[in-house]
Amino acid sequence: MDKKNKSLKFNPNISNKVILAFDEPKTGEGEYGIWYLYGIQETINGENGFFATKILHELLQGKGLKAGAKLEITKIVNDNKTTWDVKNLGGGEVEEKSITEVIDSVANSIDASKTNKVKDLSTDQKVNIMWDAYNKKNKQPVNIGDDDLPF
């Protein structure tokens, strides 16, 4: 967001009350994929929008919320896993959407023309990437040899 716009940051396990300013978010594509910018009525701290993760965006779209909807959004973090809780506190018009409509709208936003870099890797490279991720998570290196692989 530029200097006159200030983005609301969701801190873990703290509820944020917001009022949507628009029916739909602005979307675009950046270095990390598709982004969703929701405009909100300015908060006491001057925030007037927030960037939603894909999961938060899907939750909001599934509720069929419109401008004026009052929400309580909580980013729930537990054991390094993040989920979202969205409560509609009223206000704004609600457009009921079926799960099929939500899935179709999300499916239409996926860019199938992007290359899948993982598909081009050899099995050895994929195994090494998985072990690196495992070792980072557990912070203990695990040494394996050819005898440890099941293939």
User: Splitting the chain (151 residues) into consecutive groups of 10 residues, what average pLDDT does each group show?
Assistant: 76 94 92 91 90 92 89 91 89 62 64 61 73 65 60 56
Q: Which pLDDT score, from 0 to 100, does residue 147 have? A: 66
Which pTM does this prediction carry?
0.60
68 and 91 Cβ atoms separated by less than 8 Å: yes
**Tokens representing residue 74 in the block:** 């909580």
Domain ranges of the chain: 1-112, 115-151
